């Protein structure tokens, strides 16, 4: 669904609600104000709901912002703020849930007219925060790589590749909006909110005061439980991501790759080296008249390409490798049998350093020439190129090495021992392929298996890809011939017998 279609639906709902409730509201004062209450109320409720369906997705977006702010302030006189944002990064999930609840509750407060003055001001400050945040996100597109945002004199032309956070996540994965359009949207919505600040006394109020309080406080509890149901107890009830159940990943990857390869160049942006003039010429015309733009006077500043016929998704970024860097993505996707994939985007363990001694042998290499005799037509010759290498031990030294033992988070390790390991053993007994994809190192995997993790084949992948595949750490994905058949949160993981009976079709 596009943003335009979504907003039209909200407008229609707001108009209908205004007409329906107009005759049933004793405190009706201003139909324009009531329309604004319904429209913005629905907007915030829907926006919060799609985030509440996937609270982990919201927390990942919060982490991106906190990491960006650490980099932003680290090299400035505001560097004392860096540890603060690092701390916030550790509590991104909790902060994200609070924001989701606040957004949805404000929507409810506006619709029912709960404490009009308070509601109007809370809306104003929340929208101001969103506007500044999305404005910053968009403006980073003007900041070249390696340049701090506050070095305004070094800003260049806008390039989406410069943006550290390309999507604010305002509507989660339900509707993708560019940072520029999100920024404009927020500026537009500040206008009716300012109107509310001056005319809050005209806001309608549904029900009586006691019932309004009950609705607000009951909604806080229910929304919190709804968030828990979509990340702590199970995977999201609705999956807006490309790795949804039933998706043919192998086919989609091929389609996206072919579409990207077949993208045509539309135009070429040239800049004059003398007067810095910039012109945009259709590619076909440029290649016919290239001699008119000699490299001594003109430089190619950019090449503009058509949009691919099939939009690129996170599937195109997917790569499963062994720890030597060998790619196994195609092999995994082309497996025509059923496979169980254990996914862990973060191996929750803290490294504990230890020292150990290793023997280091130093050899001396000697080359010894041999006076071999060869015969050419019965004439003897000495073969001066004949030699042998002798390798002798010169000395043996003790060298100190550094290793790491990982102290695994108890809850994380327990999730494998209690839920995952029994599935692994049953799958092996029934000759069903099972493997793990993690974001880690070979050393971490070896230590994890030693401490109780499943003894399976491990592959490495980017943590963002793994977060997109499944919102559970760990989680399990059943695949068949490149298709995602089913996904499970580790707490909702059925027994192997249930999986075999319900999903594995021979």
Task: Report the share of the chain in percent with pLDDT over 70.
Answer: 89
Contacts (Cβ under 8 Å, ≥6 apart) of 105: 216, 219, 220, 223
Specify the pLDDT at position 4. 81
SS3 per-residue string spanning 310-372: CCCCHHHHCCCECCCCCECHHHHHCCCCEEEEEEECCCCEEEEEEEEEEEEEEEEEEEEECCE
Domain residue ranges of the chain, discontinuous segments joined by +: 3-229, 264-305, 316-348+409-502, 355-402
| From 290-299, 443-452, 477-486, the region with the lowest mean pLDDT | 290-299
Q: Are 409 and 349 in contact (CB under 8 A)?
A: yes
How many CB atoms sit inside 10 A of residue 252's CB? 18
Angle at CA of residue 277, ends 274 and 280, nearest 5° = 135
Specify the pLDDT at position 243. 94
Specify the pLDDT at position 80. 82
Residue 281 vs residue 389, higher pLDDT: 281
Find where tokens 């690092």 sit. Answer: 86
Contacts (Cβ under 8 Å, ≥6 apart) of 144: 154, 155, 156, 159, 162
The CATH class of 316-348+409-502 is: alpha beta
Q: What are phi and psi of 72, to 5 degrees?
A: -65, -45
Alpha helices by DSSP H, listed for 199-248, are: 209-229
Q: Are 457 and 323 in contact (CB under 8 A)?
A: no
Sheet holding 338-344, edge to edge: 457-460, 433-438, 338-344, 475-480, 483-489
What is the C-alpha radius of gyration for the chain, rounded to an integer number of angstroms?
31
CB-neighbour burial class of residue 470 (10 A; exposed 0-12, middle 13-18, buried 19+): buried
pLDDT in tens, 182-208: 888 888 888 888 899 998 888 888 888
Joined together, the tokens standing for residue 179 give 């940072």
Q: In 47-146, at which residue ranges do the beta strands (DSSP E only) sit? A: none
Cα 134 to Cα 187: distance, rounded to the nearest angstrom: 10
Specify the pLDDT at position 205. 87
Residue 387 has pLDDT above 70, yes or no: no
Specify the pLDDT at position 25. 59
Cα 347 to Cα 408: distance, rounded to the nearest angstrom: 8
Specify the pLDDT at position 89. 87
Distances (CA, A) of 480 to 14, 103, 142, 251: 45, 40, 44, 12
pLDDT in tens, 44-100: 999 999 999 999 988 888 888 888 888 888 878 878 888 888 888 889 999 999 999
| From 65-69, 234-238, 275-279, 455-459, the region with the lowest mean pLDDT | 275-279
DSSP category for residue 493: P
pLDDT in tens, 206-226: 888 899 999 999 999 999 999
Joined together, the tokens standing for residue 301 give 């500043």
| From 172-181, 429-438, 451-460, the region with the lowest mean pLDDT | 172-181
Cα 313 to Cα 261: distance, rounded to the nearest angstrom: 15
What pTM, to 2 d.p., does this model score? 0.80
Specify the pLDDT at position 378. 59
Joined together, the tokens standing for residue 498 give 């249930």
Specify the pLDDT at position 429. 93
* Mean of pLDDT over the chain: 86
pLDDT in tens, 136-156: 888 888 888 778 888 888 887
Q: Residues of 303-342 as b/e, b for ≥16 C-beta within 10 angstroms? A: eeeeebeeeebbbbebebeeeeeeebbeebbebeebbbbb
pLDDT in tens, 348-365: 888 887 776 766 666 666
Alpha helices by DSSP H, listed for 115-172, are: 116-139
pLDDT in tens, 286-310: 888 888 888 888 888 888 888 888 8
Specify the pLDDT at position 479. 95
pLDDT grade, residue 168 (50/70/90)?
Answer: low
Q: Are 353 and 447 in contact (CB under 8 A)?
A: no
Specify the pLDDT at position 415. 94
pLDDT grade, residue 17 (50/70/90)?
Answer: confident
Most confident of 163-172, 291-300, 318-327: 318-327
pLDDT grade, residue 368 (50/70/90)?
Answer: low
Specify the pLDDT at position 263. 87
């Amino acid at each position: 669904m596009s943003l335009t279609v979504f907003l039209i639906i909200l407008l229609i709902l707001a108009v209908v609600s205004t007409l329906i409730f107009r005759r049933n509201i004793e405190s009706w004062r201003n139909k324009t104000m009531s329309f604004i209450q319904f429209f913005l109320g629905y907007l915030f409720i829907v926006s919060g709901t799609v985030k509440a369906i996937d609270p982990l997705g919201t927390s990942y977006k919060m982490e991106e912002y906190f990491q960006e702010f650490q980099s932003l302030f680290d090299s400035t006189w505001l560097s004392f703020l860096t540890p603060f944002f690092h701390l916030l990064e550790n509590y991104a999930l909790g902060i994200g849930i609070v924001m989701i609840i606040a957004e949805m509750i404000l929507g409810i407060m506006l619709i029912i007219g709960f404490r009009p003055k308070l509601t109007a001001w809370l809306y104003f400050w929340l929208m101001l925060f969103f506007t500044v945040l999305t404005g910053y996100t968009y403006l980073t597109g003007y900041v070249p790589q390696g340049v701090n945002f506050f070095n305004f004199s070094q800003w260049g032309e806008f390039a989406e590749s410069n943006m550290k956070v390309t999507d604010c996540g305002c509507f989660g994965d339900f509707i993708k909006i560019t940072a520029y359009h999100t920024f404009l949207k927020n500026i537009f919505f500040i206008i009716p909110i300012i109107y509310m600040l001056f005319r809050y006394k005209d806001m309608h109020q549904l029900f009586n005061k006691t019932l309004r309080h009950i609705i607000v406080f009951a909604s806080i509890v229910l929304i919190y439980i709804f968030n828990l149901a979509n990340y702590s107890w199970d995977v999201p009830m609705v999956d807006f991501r490309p790795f949804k159940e039933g998706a043919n990943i192998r086919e989609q990857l091929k389609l996206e790759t072919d579409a990207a390869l077949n993208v045509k160049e539309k135009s070429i942006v040239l800049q004059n080296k003398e007067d810095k003039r910039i012109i945009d010429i259709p590619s076909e015309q440029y290649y016919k008249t290239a001699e008119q733009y000699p490299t001594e006077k003109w430089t190619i500043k950019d090449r503009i390409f058509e949009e691919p016929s099939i939009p690129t998704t996170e599937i195109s970024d997917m790569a499963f490798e062994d720890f030597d860097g060998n790619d196994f993505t195609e092999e995994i996707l082309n497996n025509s049998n059923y496979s169980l994939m254990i996914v862990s985007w973060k191996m929750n363990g803290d490294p504990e350093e230890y020292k150990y001694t290793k023997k280091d042998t130093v050899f001396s290499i000697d080359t010894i020439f041999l006076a071999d005799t060869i015969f050419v037509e019965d004439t003897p010759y000495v073969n001066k190129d004949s030699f042998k290498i002798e390798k002798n031990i010169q000395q043996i030294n003790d060298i100190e090495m550094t290793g790491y033992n990982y102290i695994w988070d108890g809850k994380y390790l327990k999730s494998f021992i209690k839920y995952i390991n029994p599935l692994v053993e049953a799958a092996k007994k029934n000759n069903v392929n099972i493997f793990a994809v993690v974001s880690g190192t070979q050393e971490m995997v070896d230590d994890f298996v030693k401490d109780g993790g499943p003894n399976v084949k491990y592959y490495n992948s980017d943590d963002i890809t793994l977060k997109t595949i499944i919102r559970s750490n760990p989680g399990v994905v059943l695949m068949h011939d490149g298709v995602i058949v089913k996904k499970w949160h580790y707490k909702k993981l059925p027994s192997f017998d249930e999986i075999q009976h319900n999903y594995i079709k021979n």
